[in-house]
């Protein structure tokens, strides 16, 4: 017993020292002031979007009518602004209280991204690591029985990405909101049933996010709900958002309904307990007006830049929340709302879902559903736009309609994704390369090629391909600007009289960067 006590004290000491060392490692990042972030180049994009908004309004209202929503509130966010608010129906059918953009709806699992943000903020402060075993913070988890002897301990990252091995628990998890932490610990003590060993696969887990809420409480020293309110809501101006519905002014609170037997039946509202972590999975109550501030935070984290930090969490940590971690599907036959087929890949990030389509468009989103409520927000960081919608009908589905709305906005406004300007070094190397073509004279003396280049690209072959293509193209009329993939990779067009030439090149990581890869090919002229 004495040995165990000494070990426990030593372990605690080491853990405390570890946290101190983590905090000491935090330092200021040095950066290159020459970096230029991606920018929007389509002129008048805001005006074009606004012209399309009446169409968007009609889409949402028709959808609400078709799906028997008692009330709906929706918004369009662009370039950090809530540019459109739409409302339809009632928050309270009996009293005929109309929905407004300040009406407060329970947004259910949309709460999970706030939990993830809190975890990353605590990580940034050196108070935890994402790969720490969860039992560091919830000792009761140390006694759980895993499915296999070789199973890893559940980590914080497992919980963030729905990879802890717990079974999918909708709608069971919905009914746990009012459980306190004592109930949660007693639940753990009875042993958790696993569907898989941790780290194997994605399976949506409300339980996992309740455990994350407990970790936030443990590490921060204040209850989860208060931590979110003080560290995320207040800095974002989310003054009326709440956890417990009893704290909401009756005229602002949306009542929840279920459509059954061709009529609305009011659902009993679920409490959020003052001493419980289950709110971390789905208890948040908010309005379109205030949730738009949170969406603006996510959109403003893109693109990476040298601008000063102004948010409650670092922009890099918000972007980290958008990174696909656990792939959960590939759909070769995905059909968009307009009927076109376009394969998609989906994954779960940190408290958020991720989707990329066959055109390379990226979508970040999360839905929410509880008895009486349904919601979803979806953003497209590369386009600087997002939409959000709340309804007070049980499990109101918004995924498809929000996708349709974003698709419609892009089409009607002719929106283009942000474009990365060519870096100075890319332009410099392009100009130097053009001077050597097509004969490649004095190349080894030019000093612009990395040490691997000529062993990988024999000079006689380089000359032959370049001369042949130049002869085919005829007189070179113009050299186009570099189209960058990133700061050190890009392509450009040599416009010829008869045909065009495309040159693709990559620079090395040394300083200054040198050309390490090169490809040249014919590109047919576009017919006018």
- The tokens for 411 are 């089409």
> What string of pLDDT tens digits covers the 528 residues of the chain?
444 344 343 444 444 445 544 445 556 778 776 788 999 999 999 999 999 999 999 999 999 999 999 999 999 999 999 999 999 999 999 999 999 999 999 999 999 999 999 999 999 999 999 999 999 999 999 999 999 999 999 999 999 999 999 999 998 998 899 999 999 999 999 999 999 999 999 999 999 999 999 999 999 999 999 999 999 999 999 999 999 999 999 999 999 999 999 999 999 999 998 889 999 999 999 999 999 999 999 999 999 999 999 999 999 999 999 999 999 999 999 999 999 999 999 999 999 999 999 999 999 999 999 999 999 999 999 999 999 999 999 999 999 999 999 999 999 999 999 999 999 999 999 999 999 999 999 888 899 999 999 999 999 999 999 999 999 999 999 999 999 999 999 999 999 999 999 999 999 999 999 999 999 999 988 766
- The tokens for 321 are 């929340």
| Residue-range domains of the chain with CATH | 45-413 (3.40.710.10), 424-523 (3.10.450)
- The tokens for 267 are 């659902």
At 72 the three-state DSSP class reads strand
**How distant, in Å, are the alpha carbons of 40, 123, 160, 520 from that of 461?**
40, 52, 52, 12
What is the rounded CA–CA span in Å between residue 279 and residue 219? 17
**365 with 402: CB under 8 angstroms?**
yes
What is the rounded CA–CA span in Å between residue 349 and residue 331? 18
> Any residues with CB less than 8 A from the CB of 495 and at least 6 apart, and which?
476, 477, 478, 479, 480
What is the rounded CA–CA span in Å between residue 339 and residue 337? 5
């Amino acid at each position: 017993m004495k040995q165990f006590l000494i070990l426990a004290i030593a372990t605690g000491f080491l853990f405390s020292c570890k946290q101190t060392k983590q905090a000491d490692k935090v330092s200021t990042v040095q950066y290159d002031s020459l970096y230029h972030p991606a920018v929007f180049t389509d002129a008048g994009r805001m005006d074009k979007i606004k012209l399309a908004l009446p169409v968007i309004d009609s889409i949402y209202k028709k959808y609400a009518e078709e799906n028997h929503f008692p009330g709906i509130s929706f918004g369009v966010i662009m370039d950090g602004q809530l540019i459109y608010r739409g409302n339809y129906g009632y928050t309270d059918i009996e009293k005929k209280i109309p929905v407004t953009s300040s009406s407060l709806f329970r947004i259910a699992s949309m709460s999970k991204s706030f939990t993830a943000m809190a975890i990353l903020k605590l990580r940034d402060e050196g108070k935890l690591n994402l790969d720490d075993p969860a039992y560091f913070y919830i000792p009761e988890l140390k006694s759980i029985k895993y499915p296999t002897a070789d199973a890893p301990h559940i980590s914080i990252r497992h919980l963030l990405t729905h990879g802890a091995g717990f079974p999918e628990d909708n709608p069971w998890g919905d009914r746990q909101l009012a459980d306190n932490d004592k109930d949660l610990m007693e639940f753990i003590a009875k042993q958790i049933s696993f569907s898989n060993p941790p780290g194997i696969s994605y399976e949506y887990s409300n339980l996992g996010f309740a455990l994350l809420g407990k970790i936030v409480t443990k590490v921060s020293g204040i209850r989860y709900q208060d931590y979110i309110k003080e560290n995320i809501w207040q800095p974002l101006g989310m003054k009326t958002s709440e956890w417990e519905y009893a704290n909401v002014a009756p005229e602002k609170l949306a009542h929840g309904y279920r459509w059954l037997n061709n009529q609305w039946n009011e659902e009993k509202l679920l409490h959020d307990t003052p001493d419980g972590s289950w709110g971390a999975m789905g208890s948040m109550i908010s309005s379109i007006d205030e949730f738009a501030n949170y969406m603006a935070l996510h959109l403003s984290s893109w693109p990476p830049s040298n601008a000063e930090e102004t948010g409650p969490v670092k922009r890099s940590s918000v972007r980290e929340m958008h990174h696909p971690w656990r792939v959960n599907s590939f759909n070769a036959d995905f059909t968009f709302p307009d009927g076109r087929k376009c394969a998609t890949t989906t994954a779960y990030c940190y408290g958020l879902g991720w989707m990329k389509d066959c055109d390379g468009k990226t979508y970040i989103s999360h839905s929410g559903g509880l008895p009486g409520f349904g919601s979803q927000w979806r953003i497209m960081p590369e386009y600087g736009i997002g939409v959000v919608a709340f309804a007070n009908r049980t499990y109101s589905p918004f995924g498809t309609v929000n996708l349709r709305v974003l698709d419609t906005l892009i089409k009607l406004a002719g929106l283009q994704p942000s474009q990365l300007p060519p870096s100075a070094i890319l332009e410099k190397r392009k100009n130097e390369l053009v001077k050597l073509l097509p004969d490649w004279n004095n190349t080894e003396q030019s000093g612009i090629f990395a040490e691997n280049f000529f062993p990988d690209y024999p000079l006689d072959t380089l000359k032959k391909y370049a001369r042949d293509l130049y002869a085919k193209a005829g007189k070179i009329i113009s050299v186009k600007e570099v189209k960058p993939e990133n700061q050190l990779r890009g392509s450009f067009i040599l416009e010829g009289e008869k045909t065009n030439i495309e040159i693709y090149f990559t620079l090395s990581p040394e300083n200054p960067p040198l050309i390490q890869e090169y490809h040249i090919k014919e590109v047919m002229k576009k017919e006018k």
